[in-house]
Structure 1
């Protein structure tokens, strides 16, 4: 999960999460409306679930050039069809080393422009960096599907890695995938595929062991548009349960992935803020404990996706040290 689907991006390309609302007793009118709204809550929760995976698009608010990054635009085909003949993902490729590549995603409601600060320090360290927009985001393809969304978003990551290996001259490179909040889930899920072609995973603000509680957290930080009566009991409890149930079911995924195969040998770094109110630290730690090569780096006094703001030097150092150990 990520920031609100309708607020603005911060100046450094990251996301500024909304503050948790002050807790105060709802008015009598709000409580009355919350009771009257109960019959429509399941329908509203289902609509919210769809909105999370199909958010309003926002344009790129920064470019690689503004971060001093050399780049070229790529169109990576989906569905096995040639470029220009079907759906595709939009990619900024920032060439560096031919033998070390990092593929970078983004959070829900954002685009690859939100990850340019991370791309900059990686490129300065010599890595080739490929930033991409997930489907339904940025300049990538539209996909209105309601079910099987885990496989679809994992397909996005796999498509970029596969294209770079097969079509862009990086066949022999060692690859890392860098996910953010929502994109940490498909980034880690990629290891279920025997031909994933990935040697390391970096995750910022996620993933977590359990999925349904994250949907309630998203409501509480006003990450989705929910009117005040529906954020009041008895509507709130029902909304949280249905939102969590439907939102999780739409993924159609086995979560957490079983600790077998690539999960036993692939290094994973999870960056987690100790103040994260969307994907709390304890959930990240519980998931990491399942995998022998996973490690958690805790960022103090850090909210969701705010590591590059609160501790930029520690953040960059942790990622670069991990990648040096993982990729050489």
Structure 2
């Protein structure tokens, strides 16, 4: 997508006469768009959040150093009773602390849980890079999965990946980066099928926080175009959605019925790309909070899906609804 030229005069036709539109706010819009695009992948460092200890869960910390560029990724292991492990990937701008509710749910079901801070988030290292961010985040997850498989304290069972929002793109793409089999991938609140449209949506969601001269008119149009174009350029996603036809990994897509960030209508075409996937729209959920607003059915569906993927039966495999392929709708 070509970037708009902030120095070119904007014009409109009025009463047969061309008049220049006011350019107040257009240059600041370009500057803000560039800064916010960078911050999408490099959010300001946040204060340390809660840990599994706050929920009286057992835990230990671990560190993985990425193969690509030696970035340090920090995470938690919350051990379970069984051999299987679920790896959690938080949403953009958040940290592993945002997944504590899911960590507790999965631990209570008997599984090991691994959660880590993505690069540029939480306590993990920062890269100051401007490009190939999709490749970097995907390779980071591959490094974590290799560590999980090699870690003797995790039982050597099956592995599942559980991604939220932005990380759902990474969770699907990582399957082509590792040699080992992944039993299941759960995508919660993503991925968006049309990445460019999703990035423009993020720009709209930021609108109320922008300086007044940038909130409307030509200035906001420039901001939205620049933000989405720069974010897309930095992300550099290739081959989307990924071709996973040769993999036996089971897939589940969860959308929020009230989600305005990545709505069910964006997730549906991505999910339909994988006809054997399980799909569900949590009717009351906003973005990434189905466990809160549709708790009982969310737990039933997610735990049942994972138990089937791990080849388990018992308490973690409840007799849930028989409609495994509930179409996501917007």
Rounded to whole Å, the distance in 1 between the matches of 2:236 and 2:302 is: 31
User: Per the alignment, do residues 34 and 112 of structure 1 end up closer, same or farther by CA in structure 2, a change over 3 Å counting?
Assistant: farther
Check if 1:173 corresponds to 2:129. Answer: no
| Corresponding residue number in structure 1 for 2:276 | 293
> Of 250, 254, 261, which residue of structure 2 is paired with 1:267?
250
Which segments of 5 or more consecutive residues in structure 1 lack a partner in the other structure?
1-32
Q: Contact 1:256/1:287 (CA < 8 Å) preserved in 2?
A: no
Query: Which range moves more in the overlay, 228-237 or 318-327?
Result: 228-237
Check if 1:73 corresponds to 2:61. Answer: yes
The one-character-per-residue Cα deviations of 1:91-148 (angstroms, maximum 9, x if unpaired) are 1101114521000111122110110100101000011000100011111111111101
> Of 285, 298, 303, which residue of structure 2 is paired with 1:320?
303
User: Per the alignment, do residues 70 and 41 of structure 1 end up closer, same or farther by CA in structure 2, a change over 3 Å counting?
Assistant: same
* Larger Rg belongs to: 2
| Corresponding residue number in structure 1 for 2:40 | 52
Q: Contact 2:256/2:290 (CA < 8 Å) preserved in 1?
A: yes
Aligned length: 292
Rounded to whole Å, the distance in 2 between the matches of 1:75 and 1:188 is: 23
User: Per the alignment, do residues 253 and 165 of structure 1 end up closer, same or farther by CA in structure 2, a change over 3 Å counting?
Assistant: same
Query: Which range moves more in the overlay, 185-194 or 149-158?
Result: 185-194
> Of 267, 273, 290, which residue of structure 2 is paired with 1:284?
267
User: Per the alignment, do residues 259 and 155 of structure 1 end up closer, same or farther by CA in structure 2, a change over 3 Å counting?
Assistant: closer
- What TM-score, normalized by structure 2, do the two folds share? 0.82
| Corresponding residue number in structure 2 for 1:110 | 94
User: Per the alignment, do residues 257 and 303 of structure 1 end up closer, same or farther by CA in structure 2, a change over 3 Å counting?
Assistant: same
| Corresponding residue number in structure 2 for 1:143 | 127
Rounded to whole Å, the distance in 2 between the matches of 1:306 and 1:224 is: 23
Return structure 1 stretches of 4+ with deviation > 6 angstroms: none
Which segments of 5 or more consecutive residues in structure 2 lack a partner in the other structure?
1-20, 312-330
SS of the equivalent of 2:303 reads helix
| Corresponding residue number in structure 2 for 1:61 | 49
- What TM-score, normalized by structure 1, do the two folds share? 0.83
Structure with bigger RCO (C-alpha 8 Å, 6+ apart): 1
Query: Which range moves more in the overlay, 139-148 or 295-304?
Result: 295-304
CA RMSD of aligned residues (A): 2.3
Rounded to whole Å, the distance in 1 between the matches of 2:22 and 2:293 is: 38
Check if 1:119 corresponds to 2:79. Answer: no
Q: Contact 2:172/2:242 (CA < 8 Å) preserved in 1?
A: no
> Of 296, 307, 311, which residue of structure 1 is paired with 2:294?
311
| Corresponding residue number in structure 2 for 1:232 | 216
Rounded to whole Å, the distance in 1 between the matches of 2:214 and 2:164 is: 28
